[in-house]
Amino acid sequence: MKNLDVVIIGAGIVGCACARELSLAGLRVGVVEGKSPGCGATAAGMGHLVVMDDSPAQLALTHYSRSVWSELMAELPGSVEYEACGTIWVAADEEEMAEVHNKSRICAAAGVQASVLGPAELSKAEPHLRGGLAGGLLVPDDGVVYPPAAADFFLQEAVQAGAELLQGSEAVFASQGMVRLANGTKLTAGRILLAAGADCSLLPGLPIRRRKGHLLITDRYPGFVNHQLVELGYLKSAHSTESDSVAFNVQPRRTGQLLIGSSRQFDNDDSRAETKIVGQMLERALAYMPGLGQLSGLRLWTGFRAATPDKLPLIGPAGALTGEVADPSLWLVAGFEGLGITNAPGAARLLADQMLSRTSVIDPQPFLPNRFAAQEAVYA
């Protein structure tokens, strides 16, 4: 039986980033991964590093985490394919243009560089967008990474600092400092960190819902798109917590390939791609960028975001969420919805700060899992 300081369950980008942070701080870390590191939502996601301002806490975390990414840039291997391409939030009409100005003010107040683009500047920046759009907001310091390689980078750094990867057998039990794997291996640790994304099988009471998404990748068309492009309507659709929605969201990869998204569906556990919503998603994309229709689409896939009711992640002790019997050993780092790649290194810092009683750069309070405990009690 292995005795460790922390067992991390899940080697997605968030689990790997935490493994790195905790190992570098000197803790003995084990990472349990049933399949392959980074093969879940990490592989399914776009890898957009983006400052999101839908709540003050989200703005603080995404801004902080993006700054941790830029700290790491010099160390990232080429395989991570970091590109500081920036984001353009595309406004279709004057109503959305008003939102551009609003976002621009929020960014300025938070110290996030952003500039408003008029229709001519927008079409100069992205000639393949259709004409007649109202403008956009350019956030130049946003970027793009290839998430599985980023997860692998975090994991390799952790391993070099002494962490151990236990791959090939999933955790089937985790409680009171004890983890058991499907192959019978037992691990003990002072702390167990659940970093399993939307997989809540080890702690079914978590306030996390699976939110399915689809993405399409094209062959190589260098220069077809220059920035990550997201329609401002995305904010409306991403915020709608109940209905299925699609939004125009296109990303240029370093390879010249384009990722085309996005879709959001709640309570849909079918991992197959669905014709109807794919069609809607691509129709939306073609409405903004008609030329995409002729490009060669290589692969289509789905993934599951881990959504919380307030759209903020769970970072810290599981506390009262562990159920009737208090389990002080269980910690959480999950529920990042569509921002797991952006927030992974920042969340890892916040988590390590709590485990090591360090002071955090941003307020960790809004992300503490216990914020949902009171609500659970109401329903109990």
Partner 1 sequence: MSHYEVIVVGAGPAGIAAATAAARSGSRVLLLDENPAPGGQIWRVGRSMLKGQSEGEAAKNHALKRLRDSGASFLFGYSVYDAPAAGELRAICESGEAADCPVWGEPHAVSLRYEKLILATGARERFLPFPGWTLPGVFGPGGLQALVKGGFDVKGKRIVVAGSGPLLLAVAAHLRGYGAEVVCVAEQAPLAQMLPFAISLWSHPAKILQGIQYRAALGSAPFHLGCWPVAALADIAGGKLTGVQLTDGRRTWTEDCDLVACGYHLVPNTELASLLGCAIEHGLVKVDEEQRTSVAHVYCAGEPTGIGGLDAALVQGEIAGLASAGKPTRSLQGRRVAERKFARRLEAAFRIRPELRSLAQPDTLVCRCEDVTYAALEKRSGWTDAKLQTRCGMGPCQGRICSAALETLFGWKQISVRPPLMPVPVSALVYSESQPVNLKENQ
Partner 2 sequence: MPDGTVMIFLNGGSVAVAAGSTVAAAMLNAGQPCRISVTGEARTALCGMGICFECRALIDGRAHRRSCQVVVRDGMIVETQR
Q: Which residues bind partner 1 (CB under 8 A)?
A: 35-39, 43, 79, 148-149, 152, 167, 216, 218-219, 260, 272-273, 275-276, 278-279, 282-283, 285-286, 292-301
| CB 213 to partner 1: min, Å | 15
Shortest Å distance, C-beta 76 to partner 2: 20
Name which of 130 and 239 has its Cβ closer to partner 1: 130
Q: Of 12 and 346, which has the nearer Cβ to partner 1?
A: 12
Name the one residue in this structure whose structure tokens are 């099988």.
Answer: 201
Q: At what angle do helices 147-160 and 340-355 cross, to 10 degrees?
A: 20
Which residues, other chains included, contact 323 with Cβ-Cβ below 8 Å and sequence gap of 6+?
Answer: 203, 205
Under the binding rule (CB under 8 A), the answer on residue 223 touching partner 2 is no
Residue among 132 and 223 whose Cβ is closer to partner 2: 223
Give the count of residues interacting with partner 2 (CB under 8 A). 7
Q: Is 372 exposed, middle or buried (0-12, 13-18, 19+ CB in 10 A)?
A: buried
Concatenated DSSP letters for 246-278?
A: EEEEEEE-TTSEEEEEEEEEES----S--HHHH
221 is in the binding site of which of partner 1, partner 2, none (Cβ under 5 to 8 A by kind)?
partner 2
CA distances to 107, 173, 350, 365, 366 from 357, in Å: 31, 27, 10, 14, 17
Interacting positions 236-275 with partner 2 (CB under 8 A): 255
Give least dist CB 10 to partner 2, A: 32
**What phi and psi, each to the nearest 5 degrees, are found at residue 180?**
-120, 135
Q: Which is nearer to partner 2, 140 or 297 (CB)?
A: 297
How many Cβ atoms from other residues are within 10 Å of residue 111's Cβ? 7
43 binds, among partner 2, partner 1, none (CB under 5 to 8 A by kind): partner 1
Q: Does 78 bind partner 2 (CB under 8 A)?
A: no
Q: Which does 299 bind (CB under 5 to 8 A by kind): partner 2, partner 1, none?
A: partner 1
| Binding mask of the shown chain, residues 273 to 312, with x at each position contacting partner 2 by CB under 8 A | ---------------------xxx----------------
Cα separation values, 13 from 34, 37, 122, 337, 380, Å: 15, 8, 33, 13, 34
Distance CA 366, CA 151 (A): 25
Identity of the residue numbered 211: R
Q: How far apart are CA 73 and CA 75, in angstroms?
A: 5
Tell which positions 123-182 bind partner 2, by CB under 8 A: none
Q: Is 219 in the site for partner 2 (CB under 8 A)?
A: yes
Which residues bind to partner 2, rule: CB under 8 A? 219-221, 255, 294-296
